[in-house]
Amino acid sequence: MKDIYSKSSHTNDEPTIQEMAKNLAESKAHTQALLQASFGGIAIHDKGIILECNAALETLFGYSRSHLIGMDGLELIVPSERPRVRDIIASGFDKPYESLGLTVRGTVFPVRIEAKNIPYHGRQVRVTEFRDITDQKQAQEALQQSEEKFRSLFENNHAVILVIDPRDGSIFDANPAAARFYGWSEDELRTMNIDQINTLSRDEIETEMARAAADKNNYFVFEHRRKTGGACPVEVYSGPIRIGGRKLLYSLVHDISKRREVEEALETSAIRNKELLRELQHRAKNSFSLIASLIDLTAGKSVNPEALKILEDLGSRVRSMSELYSLLYSRDQVDQVRLDEYLHRLVHPIIDLTPGITKKCLLEPVTVPTSIAAPLGLIVTELMTNAIKHAFPEGTGNISIVLKGDSHGDSTGQYSGATLEIADNGCGMPEDLASRGCGFDTPQASLPTPGLGIQLIQSLVLQIRGTIETTCRGGTITTITVPLD
């Protein structure tokens, strides 16, 4: 009995049935764990028949596990693709490939398949992973459409376009418009470097490319060479772009040679016109001086008091215009003038003729059009002359001139309006004029005998779209407001 028992007993090196069952269970558990750990759908099949699968495969194709086990795996592929997939399985191909999956509801979707032969419970089987690549395909299609759109815009654009590698300045691509403009073919341009086109030095080109690549500057003006010889001015709009993972410069090039010619012609014309205008101003200034001298000469010979007064008034008005032209002649800008400077030049000679009269000038820097400065100069001359002649019978007194810009001005003297005030502490105007607002703010028709000076001032104020007010207490204060916009 002992021998029989001994023969039937197992050795220590042989696994028991319980151990074998345990190992098998652990192996299955390990296999299931590996299957469930994958993000893709996994199927273990033998000659196409599915032996095992994971939950992801159920979700991917819509079949239950019980339906998938024992199912021919080719049924997960659209019929048109099955022959090709069958051949791949038979060849033992173990590289990823793409096909079309078919769900239980008949939905077709792009799928990426990768398979390998592995040992499984003592035999060779094939483990296959299925991944839905719908999102990837859509992204690829969108990228392809974008690239096709970019290529179409690039090829059909009438603007010159160069794509440049900022690392070495090599021309990565050029469109047909660039070939027509530069004279080299597209293929020739793709073999060239930008320093063969740009007339700047290599160091200067590298500096500008670095600025464009960093998006610090996107606009440039260069001189570009052409195949036919010579160089032409171009403006370049350049910015970074990524193509195939490479950071390149996308540059739009515009020929500005015609614009440059027009600009140069305009500049030349402006210089000539400026010179002509200065010459005309110089001649006008000399003419005014000559007229003033002739008036003074005539006045010196006149014995008629009334004629002498008219000549003196006329002379002061001519000198007022002469001062304006003298000021314009000394400035580069002829359409505008600093009114404060002009009034200073007018007032000083008038006051200097009367030592007993003192002046006070508070003039803010106000810039006005020449068309306004001329009438204001005549108005000031007329008011100052009248005050000196009639306001101070004893030959002594004070005259003040105040010029202010409105509250919307800036530091350059540009205002939308200005106010000019001329005041004296003299005897005032005659009662018949004072009772009518000193004459200036009263319609001419209401005055029995309006003087030439009053008529002139009223006319000039209307000419510059201004207003005039007078106060005749304790002297005379005349306030003129004029718009400058």
What is the model's pLDDT at position 428?
Answer: 75
What is the model's pLDDT at position 1?
Answer: 37
Instruction: Convert the pLDDT of each residue in 5-26 to its tens digit.
Output: 344 444 455 555 555 444 544 4
Indicate whether 251 and 269 sit together in one domain: no
Give the pLDDT band of residue 437 (cuts 50, 70, 90): very low
Query: Percentage of the chain surpassing pLDDT 70?
Result: 75
Give the pLDDT band of residue 446 (cuts 50, 70, 90): very low
Last residue of a domain, one of 299, 333, 367: 333
Last residue of a domain, one of 310, 333, 356: 333
Instruction: Convert the pLDDT of each residue in 150-207 to its tens digit.
Output: 788 888 889 999 999 999 999 999 999 999 999 999 999 999 999 999 999 999 999 9
Give the pLDDT band of residue 224 (cuts 50, 70, 90): very high
Instruction: Convert the pLDDT of each residue in 124-138 to its tens digit.
Output: 888 999 999 999 998
* Residue 418 identity (one-letter amino acid): A
Give the pLDDT band of residue 327 (cuts 50, 70, 90): low
- Both structure tokens of 476: 């005379």
In total, how many domains does the chain have?
Answer: 4
What is the model's pLDDT at position 412?
Answer: 60
Region of 416 please: left (phi>0), alpha (psi -120 to 50) or beta: alpha
Indicate whether 121 and 262 sit together in one domain: no
Indicate whether 154 and 236 sit together in one domain: yes
Q: Which of 382, 386, 373 is nearest to 343 (CA)?
A: 373
> Residue 429 contacts by C-beta under 8 Å, 6 or more apart in sequence?
390, 438, 439, 470, 472, 476
Give the pLDDT band of residue 51 (cuts 50, 70, 90): very high
Give the pLDDT band of residue 473 (cuts 50, 70, 90): confident
Print the domain residue range for 167: 138-255
Residue 421: pLDDT over 50 = yes
On whether the CB atoms of residues 478 and 423 are closer than 8 A, the answer is yes
Indicate whether 485 and 339 sit together in one domain: yes
> Residue 302 contacts by C-beta under 8 Å, 6 or more apart in sequence?
308, 311
Indicate whether 78 and 210 sit together in one domain: no
Instruction: Convert the pLDDT of each residue in 289-321 to its tens digit.
Output: 666 676 677 777 666 777 776 676 667 666 666
Give the pLDDT band of residue 36 (cuts 50, 70, 90): low
Angle between helices 339-352 and 305-329 (to 10 degrees): 140
Between 55 and 308, where is the model more confident? Answer: 55
On whether the CB atoms of residues 131 and 112 are closer than 8 A, the answer is yes
Distance CA 134, CA 132 (A): 6
Distance CA 26, CA 350 (A): 121
- Least confident window among 29-38, 354-363, 452-461: 29-38
Average pLDDT, the chain: 81
Mean pLDDT of 425-442: 60
What is the model's pLDDT at position 256?
Answer: 94
What is the model's pLDDT at position 164?
Answer: 95
What is the model's pLDDT at position 306?
Answer: 74
Instruction: Convert the pLDDT of each residue in 61-100 to its tens digit.
Output: 999 999 999 999 999 999 999 999 999 888 878 889 999 9
Indicate whether 247 and 261 sit together in one domain: no
Per DSSP, what are the bridge partners of residue 111? 99, 132
pTM: 0.45
Indicate whether 412 and 270 sit together in one domain: no
Give the pLDDT band of residue 101 (cuts 50, 70, 90): very high
Q: Which of 194, 198, 141, 134 is nearest to 170 (CA)?
A: 194
Distance CA 277, CA 332 (A): 10
Between 454 and 161, where is the model more confident? Answer: 161
Indicate whether 163 and 276 sit together in one domain: no
CATH of the domain at 429: 3.30.565.10
Between 150 and 242, where is the model more confident? Answer: 242
CATH of the domain at 249: 3.30.450.20
Instruction: Convert the pLDDT of each residue in 366-392 to its tens digit.
Output: 988 888 888 888 888 888 888 887 888
Indicate whether 321 and 429 sit together in one domain: no
Give the pLDDT band of residue 449 (cuts 50, 70, 90): very low
What is the model's pLDDT at position 418?
Answer: 92
Indicate whether 51 and 128 sit together in one domain: yes
Indicate whether 351 and 267 sit together in one domain: no
Distance CA 422, CA 410 (A): 24
The DSSP code sequence of 21-41 is HHHHHHHHHHHHHHHHH-SSE
Indicate whether 310 and 348 sit together in one domain: no
Last residue of a domain, one of 200, 225, 255: 255
What is the model's pLDDT at position 147?
Answer: 78
